């Protein structure tokens, strides 16, 4: 079916919040190993605030909703990820201007806009051991699968798998941006927390799209 409206998008946000709540220790430990240990807490504050604002946000059209999500993320999440997610959502909002629903083409445009916003804002590229390393392969897989004309089931499966594989590959990367660059071994041997939580969001999003 694959159509997301404003309410579906907030249902997705709430689902991410739940999934994050189950992974507090795991994600906190990832950021303790290569950063300052607050990545889970930062995202938790943002997604909890968004969950509290669900009714207000889902009453908006998608473009306004995504913009408001971005503003809340920028204000509440803090850390590097707050600014990066904030810009990602502000750019995604522009994609949905005058559009009523997110179909598979729009979701591609949203993810691609988020990727470009994060790369620009963070001055980072794939291979720098950041959240980009799960989003970039997901966008690439999305594009390839769309062009192939595969089923939406196949599309969602491949995009989520590409994000997960991308996150896994950060384990053997040396950090070029973010706090892991301050580690003597540049975070080698550890997963990047931001790449892991990005993959988690992509997985939940693709599942939501299939519902």
Residues that bind Mg ion (CB under 5 A): 31, 35-36, 38-39, 79
* Cβ at position 95, least distance to Mg ion in Å: 28
The entry of ligand ADP, Mg ion, none near residue 195 (CB within 5 to 8 angstroms by kind) is ligand ADP
The contact set with ligand ADP (CB under 6 A) reads 31, 35-36, 38-39, 42, 79-81, 84, 118, 122-124, 130-132, 177-179, 192-195
DSSP reduced 3-state for 101: coil
104-122 and 193-210 are packed helices; what angle lies between their axes, rounded to 10 degrees? 170
Give the residue with the Cβ less far from ligand ADP, 74 or 124: 124
Interatomic CA distance for residues 131 and 118, integer angstroms: 9
CB atoms within 10 A of CB 184: 6
User: In residues, how long is the chain?
Assistant: 211
* Cβ at position 16, least distance to ligand ADP in Å: 15
Find out whether 72 and 46 touch, Cβ atoms under 8 Å.
yes
* Cβ at position 35, least distance to ligand ADP in Å: 5
DSSP reduced 3-state for 105: helix
The entry of Mg ion, ligand ADP, none near residue 27 (CB within 5 to 8 angstroms by kind) is none
Helices (H), 35-151: 39-52, 54-58, 62-76, 79-95, 104-122, 132-148
Give the residue with the Cβ less far from ligand ADP, 159 or 180: 180
Give the residue with the Cβ less far from Mg ion, 24 or 148: 24
The entry of Mg ion, ligand ADP, none near residue 112 (CB within 5 to 8 angstroms by kind) is none
Give the residue with the Cβ less far from ligand ADP, 6 or 134: 134
Give Cβ neighbours of residue 198 (< 8 Å, ≥ 6 apart): 131, 134, 135, 163, 167
* Cβ at position 31, least distance to ligand ADP in Å: 5
* Cβ at position 79, least distance to Mg ion in Å: 4
Give the residue with the Cβ less far from Mg ion, 39 or 158: 39
Find out whether 62 and 96 touch, Cβ atoms under 8 Å.
yes
* Cβ at position 79, least distance to ligand ADP in Å: 3
Structure tokens at 117: 């916003």
Give the residue with the Cβ less far from Mg ion, 45 or 102: 45
């Amino acid at each position: 079916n694959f159509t997301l409206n404003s309410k579906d998008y907030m249902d997705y946000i709430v689902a991410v919040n739940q999934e994050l709540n189950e992974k507090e220790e795991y994600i906190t430990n990832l950021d303790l190993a290569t950063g300052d240990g607050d990545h889970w807490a930062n995202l938790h504050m943002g997604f909890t605030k968004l969950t509290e604002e669900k009714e207000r946000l889902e009453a908006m059209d998608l473009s306004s909703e995504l913009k408001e999500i971005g503003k809340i993320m920028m204000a509440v999440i803090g850390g590097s990820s707050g600014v990066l997610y904030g810009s990602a959502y502000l750019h995604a909002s522009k994609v949905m201007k005058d559009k009523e629903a997110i179909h598979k083409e729009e979701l591609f445009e949203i993810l691609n806009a988020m990727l470009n916003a994060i790369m620009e804002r963070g001055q980072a590229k794939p291979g720098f051991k950041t959240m980009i390393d799960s989003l970039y392969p997901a966008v690439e897989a999305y594009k390839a699968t769309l062009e192939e004309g595969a089923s939406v089931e196949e599309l969602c499966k491949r995009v989520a798998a590409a994000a997960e594989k991308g996150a896994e590959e950060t384990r053997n990367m040396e950090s070029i941006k973010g706090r892991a660059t301050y580690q003597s071994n540049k975070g080698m041997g550890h997963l990047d927390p931001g790449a892991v939580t990005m993959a988690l969001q992509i997985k939940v999003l693709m599942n939501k799209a299939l519902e």
